[in-house]
Structure 1
Amino acid sequence: MQRVCSTFTAGFLLLLFCAGSAVHAEQLTQPLYYSPKFLEAKRLTTILEQPEDTIDFARAKLAIDKMVDPTIDVKANLKKIDAMVKQIKALLPAKATSTDKMLAVKKYIYEAGTWNNFQPYHYDFDDPSGTIVSHKLLPNYLASKKGNCVSMPLLLIVLGQRLGIDVTASTAPKHVLVKYTDSDTGQTYNLETTSGANPARDVWYQQTMHVTDQALENRIYLQKLSKQESLAVMATVLAESYYEKQDYEKAMMISDVVLKHNSNAVDTMLMKGSLFYKLLAKHYLNKYPTPNLIPVVERPYFEFLNINNRFWFEKAEKLGWREPTQADEINYLNKVKHDANLLQKQ
């Protein structure tokens, strides 16, 4: 997450004021990024705009992952998922309830047994923050059995849907969790997949991940997302892959698609803010030590990028997001590692 240095932009805005800017006020406050669409954005839109009753989380996740890594074999991975579901069904009692099914999924994933070759899935301590894009891809998680706070909940959602369980995604700051609704009681629970998919109360996320009361009031965190919104959560990895490749314009377009289908996706808002910074750095900050050196003809575009950089961070803050301190992030990682270690020792 990066914002423009206020000293640099203050000097630039003073320069515009003295010289007289040709950019109108309505242009300065426009938060959109204008760029022609490209194939991946169109394909992603098609995936996200499926009718809710036709959404298959497994197929959608693999289709998105294949856009990140074209070598992914979608059919082969669907067969893996089908085989996993078959093994989970073998663990079920007759007339299994929703709870029975969820317990069987948890057993299959987290407990060593013949069903997983005595190799349960576990947290990836080599990439505890889930910063490596490839580690968020479902096929990599299936192959390595090492996951993070993106791949782990999404696998549970994929398997749960195949078993007829009411599961969707939910989010906390830089984190994905599962919302599970027991069809027999109507009760909805948070399931924390980095800790054995055990139930976790909202207050735990508030305390551990610094979810503010304002964020809850504005419904940006810990909400039970729709299937379409859950697909938008899955799609963020595509924007991240373009960001990692420094293809910032494409990352911007994918982010726009995500926000169109999940307007409260705060992490994507923050990515947009950072993307505008990257474009500023690419075109101006790394080239011109002072604002008066920017060619006059390019100053309106600089101003557009600068204002949008600030716009997206400020929007997230108004909704209740707070930038974590380094101590916050260390404490969170230590907590996740501690819980994952306890799970592995069981």
Structure 2
Amino acid sequence: MKKILLIISILFFNLLGFSQTDQEIYEQAFQKINCMLTKTCSVSFSDAVFTVENAYFSNRLNQELFEKQILVLAELSKQFIASQDLIYDYPDRNKVVKYAALFNVLTDTTRIQVDSSRYIEMQPYTYDFTDIWGHKDWSNMFVSKLLDTKKGNCHSLPFLYKIVADEIGAEAHIAIAPNHFYIKHQNKANGWYNTELTSGIFPNDAWLMASGYIHLDAIVNKLYMEALNDQQMIALCMIDLAKGYARKLSILSHNESILKCCDAALTVYPRYINALLLKAETKKKMFDALMVKYNAQNPVDIMNITEAKNIFTEMTNLYAQIHELGYRKMPEEMYLNWLTSLKEERNKYENKKITNFRTKTK
């Protein structure tokens, strides 16, 4: 029913020729993604990602092109499966061959046969070290940007991988590390293993721990390194929606909308660190605004105001919870050094068992 009402409201605006405001666009995007979170409509990671990015571009993103680009990658993966023979002799071979195909299509040069004598080459997707957190341009985090430029980051690369994996029927799980997303797969030969798209290798868990910012409490509390389920991965998109909302409509009156996104994500993923951080930071902005409003020099100066006291209590409780869960802030420079270490110390951190899943031409 919610999905039907959402479609009717969109058609109503379009038929009457009304132009929607960004706030209305974001509200509709929230309803669509929340529908997936609550399982009142079908869950599609691809649709959730497109909805987030389209809202940021004020519904001007070309969905047909987006979907065609995904289908091309899916078709390339299928061609790779048909032309290669995976060296892997376990019962789940049909599943693992999809992992191998998709990994090769995204991280290596792919040759496409045009006719009996001609080939074209598809270049791999690579890491873009420019504005990797989207500080200057939030769209640098987007899958649509990655598809257009073939350059992405630890956000867009694993998100694209997950989207194409769904398209070819391959099970893939996004996992979280400090400031980072990556892919986790499972097979009968080795159990769970990591797939890192930023460098195109299969790192062991020791590399993740080597960052120095994964506290033991964070492991115990499952803050990081867990294979997320479908709803949890949609929750990632809900927080991306909130962050885009904050970037595009950075007005204090919209903080409640950002908090609504955080609460929706936390309903299905209570320990999603990015949701907890965004909620705490939003509460802090609200409290800081009250400090300015009442010309207060110290927090204690407005503790007699109920609104200020409630917001301050919620904020401090959130920061305390975040710390107790084991979160430690990782400096951006340290993150780049850690990411680079995977290539420079490949022999130290590469999972050799996974790299032995070689392929040979049929």
TM-score w.r.t. the length of structure 2 is 0.74
Unaligned runs of 5+ residues in structure 1 are: 1-36
Please report the TM-score for the alignment, with normalisation by the length of structure 1.
0.77
State the percentage of identical aligned residues. Answer: 20
Amino acid at match of 1:144: T
Supply the distance in 2 between the matched residues of 1:186 and 1:333 (Cα, whole angstroms).
Answer: 29
Matched, 1:101 2:107: no
**Following the alignment from structure 1 to structure 2, what is the Cα–Cα distance between the partners of residues 238 and 311?**
24
Q: Do the aligned residues in 1 keep the contact of 2:174 with 2:228 (CA within 8 Å)? A: yes
In structure 2, which of residues 50, 53, 58 is the aligned counterpart of residue 62 of structure 1? 50
CA contact (8 A) 1:276 1:308 kept: yes
Shift of 1:155: 0.7
Distance of 1:195 and 1:218 partners within structure 2: 28
2:243 aligned residue: 240
| Higher RCO (Cα < 8 Å, 6 or more apart) | 1
Q: From 172, 179, 198, give the equivalent of 1:174.
A: 179
Q: Are 1:194 and 1:340, in contact at CA under 8 Å, matched by a contact in 2?
A: no
Partner of 1:230: 233
Match of 1:12 in 2: none
The CA distance in 1 between the partners of 2:323 and 2:302, in whole Å, is: 33
Say whether 1:160 aligns with 2:165.
Answer: yes
* Distance in 2 between residues matched to 1:231 and 1:214, nearest whole Å: 25
| Equivalent residue number for residue 193 of structure 2 | 189
**Partners of 2:77 and 2:101 within 8 A in 1:** yes
Shift of 1:330: 1.7
- Give the 3-state SS of the residue equivalent to 1:126 in structure 2: coil
Unaligned ranges ≥5, structure 2: 1-25, 87-93, 113-119, 347-362
Partner of 2:141: 136
Shift of 1:63: 2.4
Amino acid at match of 2:98: K
Q: Which residue of 1 aligns with 2:307?
A: 301
Amino acid at match of 1:238: L
Equivalent residue runs for 1:1-346 within 5 Å: 38-50=27-39, 54-69=42-57, 70-93=59-82, 97-114=94-111, 117-131=121-135, 132-182=137-187, 184-185=188-189, 187-196=191-200, 198-208=201-211, 210-244=213-247, 245-246=249-250, 247-285=254-292, 288-291=295-298, 299-324=305-330, 326=331, 329-337=332-340, 339=342
For residues 342 and 326 of structure 2, what CA distance do their matches in structure 1 show?
A: 27
Name the residue aligned to 1:9.
none
Q: Aligned partners of 2:48 and 2:27: how far apart in 1?
A: 19
Structure 2 SS opposite 1:109? helix
Question: CA-atom RMSD, angstroms?
Answer: 2.9
- The separation in 2 between residues aligned to 1:191 and 1:332, in whole angstroms, is 18
